[in-house]
Structures are given as structure tokens and as C-alpha cells.
């Protein structure tokens, strides 16, 4: 097999299996090539990935050696994406009665989800997260995309308790609108004592994410990170603490003047 053909195969395999250790022996066998050629191929791919800010290739040498593609997101790409999002989100047409902002359309676009997933995966890749947790409904696409780049399962907290979920743990909490709400998670969906990353679309005071953290305690899980697509400037102190990552910040919505101000999120503060 020619080098260029091998490179196509290796690049595809790495991109389709982020954050997974792929055996060099298996790869060499599958490509019917010597490990030395494979190493040279990987060196070329590594260089390009790093130049382009797509992420790192981590290789372990030796008989049991492997290679792992850790997706990343360059600061330039992230900044450009957030700037674009800020412009799109600040469209006054998005203002809904009550000062809410319509953004379901954005959270359904594959290119937005891919980029947001890359950014979260990049920000949380050193946390050792084993599961991505979200609450239905609007956070699910973001959680799925993040889980894809981290190559760990996504699980969904329900607002009701469905027969198709089996036995579940439920908790009550007070939502932002001061109503008592319920959330529940199927017992089967999360083993005990796991590291969990919380992802959601929007955070104001942080009541929902706080409730998710409380729910995690019932599973003896450790919350290793909190990521949201959009947080608000006010209140400054969130119920989950201020160690969260937001991609964008909703600074103000003026329903009367029809003005929205969206600025970059806490992602860029670290």
C-alpha cells in the first residue's frame, strides 16, 4: 500500500475514534505495513494536526503501544466561533416575551454542535470525566456532541419519570421561576462513584445545574466540570459556584429597546 493511501486510512481512523487508544500492532496489521512506516505516517499526521490546531496525537511506544487522538480547538478557532455566535444571538428578532432569547435553531445546527462539542472536550479533557450528564431537552444535542469528542457516554436526566427508564432516583428542587420541579435519573444509566461532566444550554442562577449536582450525590458521583453554551452576567454568583465554563455570556436583553448584548463566555478567562 502506498504511503498516501495509508495516511488516508489512519487519518480517518483517528478522527472517527477520538480519545481512544488504538493499538499500533492492530493498525500495522490492518494496513499490512511495518510499524516503522506507521510511525513515520503518524509523525506526519501529528505535525499537521498540531499546525492546524485540531489536537494532539499521543503515542505510547513498545509492544503494547498505541496512539490516541485528543481533539483540541485552537484559541483562534474558538474566538472566531464565539464572535459569530454573539452576532447571530444578538439579533433582536430572537427576543421572546419575558426577555427570553430564542436559540433552539442554533442548537440544532451540526456545525455549531461540532464546534461547541470540540470546545467543551478541549476544556474538560483533563478532568477524567467518564460520563456527560445533561437534563432534557435543549442541552441534549450539546451533551451528545461533547460525548462524541470525549468518546464517553451521554446520559439524560428526565423531568418526568418514564416507564421505559426503569427504577429511578428523583429529587425536587426550586427552579428559576420559583416553582417546585422534579428531576429523575434512571438507576441503570449511571453506575456509582463515577466522574461526571455536566453540560447544559443555558444557566442563569444555576438552580438546575445545582439540582443536577445534588442528584449526582445520590449516585456517589463526582462532578468534575460544568459547561454551558450560554450563561448570564447577572447574577454574578451562580448556585453551582463560579468554576463553570460558558461559551457565551448573555450580558443584557432589553425587551423595550429591542436590544441584546452577547459577549464571550468564561471559556476565555482561563
Binding site for its own copies (CB under 8 A): 2-5, 7-9, 11-12, 15-16, 41, 44-45, 47-49, 52, 54, 96-98, 100-105, 108-111, 113-114, 136-138, 140-141, 144-145, 147-148, 151-156, 158, 163-166, 186, 188-189
- Rounded to a whole number of angstroms, the minimum distance from the CB of residue 181 to its own copies is 12
CA 37 distance to own-chain centroid? 35
CB of 220 to its own copies, least distance (A): 18
For its own copies, which is the closer residue by CB, 148 or 238?
148
Q: Do 153 and 131 contact (CB within 8 A), yes or no?
A: yes
Q: How far apart (Å, rounded) are the C-alpha atoms in residues 187 and 37?
A: 48
- At 166 the three-state DSSP class reads coil
The label of the residue with cell 427576543 reads 95
Q: Please choose, from the candidates 261, 228, 230, the residue with its C-alpha nearest in 3D space to the C-alpha of residue 248.
A: 230
Tell the smallest beta-carbon distance from residue 18 to its own copies (Å). Answer: 9
Please state the closest distance from residue 122 (CB atom) to its own copies, in A. Answer: 15
Nearer to its own copies, 145 or 248 (CB): 145
CB of 9 to its own copies, least distance (A): 6
Q: What is the DSSP string of 179-198?
A: -EEEEEEEGGGS-SS-EEEE
Return the number of the residue (63 or 163) whose C-beta is nearest its own copies. Answer: 163
Dihedral angle, C-alpha 203, 206, 207, 213, nearest 10 °: 110
Of 164 and 236, which CB lies nearer to its own copies in the complex structure?
164
Q: Rounded to the nearest whole angstrom, what is the least distance from the CB of residue 257 to its own copies in the complex?
A: 19
Identify which of residues 6 and 210 has a Cβ nearer to its own copies in the complex: 6
Closest to its own copies by CB, 96 vs 174, is 96
Cis peptide before 145 (omega within 30 of 0): no
CA atoms within 13 Å, Cβ hemisphere of 221: 27
- Determine the Cα–Cα distance for residues 153 and 167; give it in Å rounded to an integer: 20
Nearest residue (CB) to its own copies, 19 versus 268: 19
Query: To the nearest whole angstrom, how small is the minimum distance from the Cβ of residue 201 to its own copies?
Result: 9
d(CA 136, CA 119): 21
Please tell me what DSSP assigns to residue 158.
B
Query: Are the C-beta atoms of 172 and 180 separated by less than 8 Å?
Result: yes
Amino acid at each position: 500500500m502506498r504511503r498516501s493511501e495509508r495516511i488516508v486510512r489512519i487519518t480517518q481512523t483517528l478522527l472517527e475514534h477520538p480519545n481512544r487508544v488504538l493499538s499500533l500492532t492492530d493498525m500495522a496489521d490492518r494496513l499490512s505495513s511495518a510499524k516503522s512506516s506507521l510511525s513515520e505516517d503518524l509523525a506526519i499526521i501529528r505535525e499537521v494536526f498540531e499546525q492546524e490546531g485540531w489536537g494532539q496525537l499521543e503515542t505510547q511506544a513498545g509492544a503494547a503501544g498505541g496512539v490516541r487522538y485528543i481533539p483540541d480547538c485552537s484559541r483562534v478557532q474558538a474566538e472566531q466561533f464565539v464572535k459569530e455566535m454573539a452576532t447571530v444571538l444578538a439579533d433582536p428578532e430572537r427576543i421572546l416575551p419575558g426577555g427570553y432569547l430564542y436559540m433552539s435553531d442554533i442548537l440544532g445546527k451540526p456545525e455549531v454542535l461540532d464546534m461547541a462539542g470540540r470546545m467543551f472536550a478541549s476544556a474538560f479533557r483533563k478532568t477524567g470525566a467518564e460520563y456527560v450528564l445533561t437534563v432534557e431537552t435543549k442541552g441534549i444535542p450539546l451533551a451528545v456532541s461533547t460525548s462524541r469528542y470525549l468518546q464517553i457516554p451521554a446520559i439524560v436526566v428526565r423531568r418526568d419519570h418514564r416507564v421505559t427508564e426503569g427504577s429511578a432516583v428523583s429529587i425536587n428542587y426550586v427552579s428559576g421561576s420559583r416553582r417546585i420541579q422534579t428531576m429523575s435519573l434512571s438507576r441503570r444509566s449511571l453506575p456509582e462513584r463515577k466522574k461526571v461532566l455536566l453540560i447544559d444550554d443555558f444557566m442563569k442562577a444555576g438552580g438546575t445545574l445545582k439540582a443536577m449536582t445534588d442528584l449526582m450525590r445520590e449516585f456517589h458521583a463526582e462532578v468534575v466540570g460544568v459547561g454551558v453554551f450560554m450563561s448570564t452576567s447577572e447574577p454574578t454568583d451562580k448556585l453551582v459556584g463560579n468554576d463553570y465554563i460558558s461559551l457565551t455570556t448573555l450580558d443584557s436583553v432589553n425587551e423595550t429597546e429591542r436590544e441584546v448584548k452577547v459577549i464571550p463566555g468564561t471559556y476565555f478567562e482561563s
